Structure 1
């Protein structure tokens, strides 16, 4: 969820001064970038301390961090060809036109890719690329919708000359994992680890001493506990309850992460 979305969602819960600030920021977010905290306070007719308390209320350490977030949000909207002042909230509304829904869905997919990319630790990415480059074997595992990304990642790693093992037969996953060694890597792409096959495979690889690298959601507790290195997929709840919309957002972010890993390996 973006900073402006947070403000819109919390606006009714703010103090009177907080509501003044929220109204001004939502109407003219560019002021946050162009003004100091003292100047913004004057424009909103509140004290400078109210500005600081407002930014902390929505999850920032202070005005500089809030200013940076708004600046990035404005830049993101401009990059995808939109104007933040004319963008509709990503929250669904009863009377949305089809054009509005299309715009929101496109924005949400863009947000998933950008938010996931921003969360990457570059040193971790370098370590993942090095571990894959040095592995004797790399077993790729992705079940259900994640198998689409796994197959694509398999082809990319093969093109880079890496020793990849990928079986479409899910029943073989744990069997293959039982053959891994400390020189090998199990790479899991998942939205959650509730599938029994995935649990068996991950535990088998761990017992064999193989390195475990994971792409999944931050709340995937099992894989978090087993992973040696992990990249998080950051997605807002889907806008529409159409078939696979939840997975589509995750797949877009997952594919972006696998592409970035391949770039890191090449470099």
Structure 2
């Protein structure tokens, strides 16, 4: 597993000091080559031994081994100081742009896959398949993804209610039962209104599944289950593309697992697709 992916995936299980080290490394991976273990410890206000123990806990012989591995990974991904700058107009031809985006999407989806083990994906698929009702909520761009996935769940014959307005979602809370599931989409997981809905939904006995970035956030921390998305790039517009692609990849996996593990749902999907095809082409 790539070193940065390993650190991201294990962050939530780390101690407070270890999380401080992890966050610094994840936010400043391209600068780590300039830090000795003592300099990193001084920057974070911790002991040098804490830095060394962190490296060893992550599976490295010591801090130099950790620093070298991360430096090599950053170099491979074009993440050095100079490498992170956008290419010049002369170098930025169409083929280069296409190939760079293709590789970045593949790497992002691979990292996202590593962050979501198969048992977790199977559990979420089972949670959705056995739900009495599935409420789906997301705002802004997250709402567009939420709406599309809600439609796909409906085609499986699952009772799905999609909301793009948290106030209207609140109106449904009075009827929530223990077999209801709330699927919340929020890239950064920090919107207070969604966190409030999540807590109230759980208080009423429902279960919450979050879809957010892999970073620590309130929504992911308090969800009953979560899908974690990895998407990183020096250029913001590319990073946003990677996030959307990785979310879609995760949702496609969950949907495919639903079709595979529940033949009756797949049968209902086939019936609904045939009806739609007949309506469009009649």
Q: 1:251 aligns with which of 244, 250, 257?
A: 244
Contact 1:191-1:220 within 8 A present in 2 as well: no
Residue number among 100, 107, 116 corresponding to 1:104 in the alignment: 100
Instruction: Name structure 2 gaps, 5 residues minimum.
Output: 5-24, 37-59, 261-282
What is the deviation of 1:170? 4.1
2:173 and 2:69 mapped to 1: Cα distance? 42
Aligned match of 1:127 = 123
Aligned residues, how many?
204
Cα distance between partner residues in 1 of 2:193 and 2:32: 45
TM-score scaled by length of structure 1: 0.65
Q: How does 1:172-191 map to 2 (within 5 A)?
A: 172-191=168-187
Residue among 166, 173, 190 paired with 1:194? 190
1:232 counterpart SS class: strand
CA contact (8 A) 2:189 2:219 kept: yes
The residue aligned with 1:150 is: 146
Cα pair distance change 1:258/1:189, threshold 3 Å: same
Partner deviation per Cα, 1:49-94 (whole Å, 9 max, x = no partner): xx9656444569xxxxxxxx99xxxxxxxxxxxxx9xx77254336
CA RMSD of aligned residues (A): 3.3
Matched, 1:240 2:229: no
Taking structure 2 as the reference length, the TM-score comes to 0.61
Q: What per-residue deviation string (whole Å, max 9, x for no partner) do you get for residues 173-201 of structure 1?
A: 22223421111001112112333431232
Counterpart-to-counterpart distance in 1, 2:154 and 2:198: 22
Measured in 2, the distance between the counterparts of 1:167 and 1:94 equals 38
2:225 corresponds to 1:264? no
Cα distance in 2 between the residues matched to 1:196 and 1:12? 37
Helix, strand or coil at the partner of 1:182: coil
Query: Unpaired segments of 5 or more residues in structure 1?
Result: 16-50, 61-68, 71-83
Whether 1:137 and 2:133 are equivalent positions in the alignment is: yes
